[in-house]
Amino acid sequence: MGKIIMVASGKGGTGKTTAVANIGAALAASGSLTVLVDMDMGLRNLDIALGLESEVVYDFTDFTDGRHSLDDVLVKVGGRENLYFIAAPQTRPAAEIDGEKLAVLWERLRERFDFCIVDAPAGIGTGFAYASSGADEAVIVSLAETAALRDADRAVSAFIKNRETQDDQKKQKEDNSDKKNSENSEDTGENKPADSEPQKRELEIKLLMNRIRPDLIEKKLMPNIDECMDMISVPVIGIVPEDEELIRASLSGRLAADEPLSSAGTAFSNTARRIKGEHVPIMEFKRKSFFKKLAEAFKK
């Protein structure tokens, strides 16, 4: 069975969708069969990050509503082995989504893929709840800013609350089913099986710090990673530096994870390796001197 990982952020503008595209590409490049699911209903952008804006015909509601098969809604990402994509609807609001039908989609994807990376909408509204409904783990993307970290902490709390609500609802359904079976057993004279305590899913929540500026940290204008972790009490799975190569790759329709000279791409690839359970040290980012930057500029 595969693993479903929700990637979320407490606020917009943290680079969450870029992170999903790059981490997904890195997982696929490492040999893991991976699907990326855009759950940002009405504001989808993951198709653009993957260069698939003209390839999308169906979205995940075409499967959940029974109009098309899973194979129909899956889009193969061109030029990449092991990587697939499912789009979010453009016009349908999150309030109209059927949670039970969505649960079927999550189970089918878990059976078929090694990793399902879910791009959740920013914030902690209804769309966030649906994006987290099938998740085994969560990666919260944040900037090293007080407002972003505060909202990231709220996203962590929302994920925990959603999971507790889901577990309570599941237990209620099981209790109702047991009660009905017990009544049927009494009618037929059969023995009631012994009650068993339902197993609670363990929560795994990690923090991905994005667009880190070592020069600003040196000048005390940006909090360092230790200070960030003091504000949000979850372990860090990756630290991604601000990187011009990422911007160039994006403008050229490429992903930073494919660029050997991109420090952000390397950080995303290392994050993917940690998701797979590898022990990869956090990269050290050294601030470039003015003269080194000037020399590199003349080389371009």
- pLDDT tens, position by position, 61-116: 999 999 999 999 999 999 999 999 999 998 888 888 899 999 999 999 999 999 99
| Sheet strands side by side (includes 75-76) | 75-76, 83-86, 34-38, 115-119, 3-8, 137-143, 204-212, 236-241
14 has binding-site annotation: yes
Check whether 17 is labelled as a binding-site residue: yes
11 is in an annotated binding site: yes
CA distance 285 to 287: 7
Q: Is 16 annotated as a binding residue?
A: yes
Residue 135 lies in a domain: yes
Evaluate whether residue 192 is within a structural domain.
no
Each residue of 198-216: pLDDT tens digit? 555 567 999 999 999 999 9
> Does 83 reside within a domain?
yes
Token readout for 113 is 């893929």
Q: 257, 26 in Cβ contact below 8 A?
A: yes
pLDDT confidence of residue 294: 44
SS3 106: helix
Q: How many domains does the chain have?
A: 1
- Decide the pairing of beta strands 83-86 and 34-38: parallel
- Measured between alpha carbons, how far is 1 from 134 in angstroms, rounded to an integer? 13
Instruction: Provide the domain limits for residue 125.
Output: 3-176+201-299
Nearest CA-CA partner of 230 in 141, 158, 298, 144: 144
Is 34 marked as a binding-site residue? no
Residue 191: predicted pLDDT: 56
Evaluate whether residue 248 is within a structural domain.
Answer: yes
CATH of the domain at 279: 3.40.50.300
CA angle centred on 16, ends 138 and 117, rounded to 5°: 45
192 is in an annotated binding site: no
Per-residue tokens: 180: 């009905």
240 within a domain of the structure (yes/no) = yes
Amino acid at 284: E
264 occurs within a structural domain = yes
**pLDDT per residue over 166-189, tens digit each?**
877 777 777 776 677 666 666 665
- pLDDT tens-digit map of 232-263: 989 999 999 999 989 888 888 889 999 888 99
Annotated binding residue 18:
yes
Residue 186 lies in a domain: no
CB atoms within 10 A of CB 261: 11
Q: Answer whether residue 166 is part of any domain.
A: yes
